[in-house]
Chain A
Amino acid sequence: MENTGRMSNVKIVESPEGHTGSGFFATSLDKVIGLARANSIWPLPFATSCCGIEFMSTMASNYDLGRFGAERLSFSPRQADLLMVMGTIAKKMGPVVRQVYLQMAEPRWVLAMGACASSGGIFDTYSVLQGIDRIVPVDVYVPGCPPRPEQVIDGIIKIQELIKNEPLRRRNTEEYKELMASYGIM
């Protein structure tokens, strides 16, 4: 393809609803913040098994999660927005997942990838946690064993929708505090 130098293939996100006129654009603050957050997610990959392998190909050039602004993986929970739990979580690993979640700053989201993280999967046994939603609240579940990269991307897009439409004060509401309290998180 001829390089025109005009970057005609680069798509940028659409602007939110608002009022536009000569030299100004006005919209609400939470729409702008939601737009910024949704398109610059820093995921923390908590990969314990084969779903983690599938996530690697999701991050690699063929599927390229960087297209969704999630290029930068955060291996420190302090700077992460999205906890991606991918793989079987043994009961002994449970407190580690929980501690990683607690170390993340608000606002934080959780994606459970694959059957094991969502429900224990085929490991209906004494040593495996039967879904991470027993220890941390989960925003999006991605089914599959393991899910294909397309499904992971679908899950990320659903997370983006949640982030875009989240009211700024959601984390201060009574419902949210109750949800946290039900997990023993104050």
Chain B
Amino acid sequence: MQDITQTLEINYDYILSRINDRYTDAVMDHYEPFGMLTLTIKKESITDMIVFLKEDEILRFEFLTSLCGIHMPDNKGNELGVIYHLHSFIHNIRLRIKSFTTIENLEFPTVTPQFLCANWMERETFDFYGIIFKGHPDLRRILNMDEMDYFPMRKEYPLQDATRADKEDKYFGR
């Protein structure tokens, strides 16, 4: 096994073909913004795909560098998403995986059994976007105060604090 990984040059085409060999219809779209391979996959295949990428003896994406949410209210039917960044130490290659869901169905599968570091990152994503990670061991707010009753990074909420008193128009001659 060591010999294969050390001699083989891995490129994006190879990664794509290896994924497509295993899961024929999981990858819905792929492109390379700023030279980084980005896959859009179905929500149902996230767990399988991440287990495969981590445990595959050639690809070995063993490091989840980042996990975050995204909200695009104009993207009807795919409003909320989760983005995973995976890193393969042995090939020094990074991979971005996106997956979207509707605003009505906020559930995503957790990847904490595969990556312990996903614990806090999924809590943060829940904190800011309200995405519920099914199977997460301790899904509660992590950065915002516990009493907060909304998800502040959702686009329907204003960024500004509603209680700010010194930004009234009269102070600016408006």
Which residues of B lie under 8 Å from residue A124 when comparing CB positions? 160-161, 164, 167
Classify the secondary structure of A's interface with B.
loop
Closest-CB distance, B57 to chain A (whole angstroms)? 44
Closest-CB distance, A44 to chain B (whole angstroms)? 23
What CA separation (Å) do A94 and B161 show in the bound complex? 15
Chain B interface category by residue count = 10 to 19
Q: Is B156 an interface residue (CB 8 A)?
A: no
Q: Is A130 an interface residue (CB 8 A)?
A: yes
Q: What is the 8 Å Cβ interface bit string for chain A, positions 108-135, against chain B (1 contact, 0 not)?
A: 0000000000011000111110100010
What CA separation (Å) do A134 and B162 show in the bound complex? 14
Closest B residue, CB atoms, query A123: B161
Contact between chains at A130 and B152 (CB < 8 Å): no
Q: Is A170 an interface residue (CB 8 A)?
A: no
Known interface pairs A91-B145, A92-B144; A127-B152 also in contact (CB < 8 Å): yes
Closest B residue, CB atoms, query A95: B145
Q: What is the 8 Å Cβ interface bit string for chain A, positions 148-179, against chain B (1 contact, 0 not)?
A: 00000000000000000000000000000000
Closest-CB distance, A96 to chain B (whole angstroms)? 11
Chain A interface category by residue count = 10 to 19
Contact between chains at B145 and A92 (CB < 8 Å): yes
Which residues of B lie under 8 Å from residue A128 when comparing CB positions? 161
Contact between chains at B161 and A126 (CB < 8 Å): yes
What CA separation (Å) do A113 and B94 show in the bound complex? 45
Contact between chains at B157 and A130 (CB < 8 Å): no
Q: Is B166 an interface residue (CB 8 A)?
A: yes
Q: Most chain-A Cβ atoms within 10 A of its Cβ — which of B152, B157, B160?
A: B160
Closest B residue, CB atoms, query A127: B144
Q: Is B165 an interface residue (CB 8 A)?
A: yes
Q: Which of B132-168 contact A (CB under 8 A)?
A: 143-145, 148, 152, 157, 159-161, 163-167
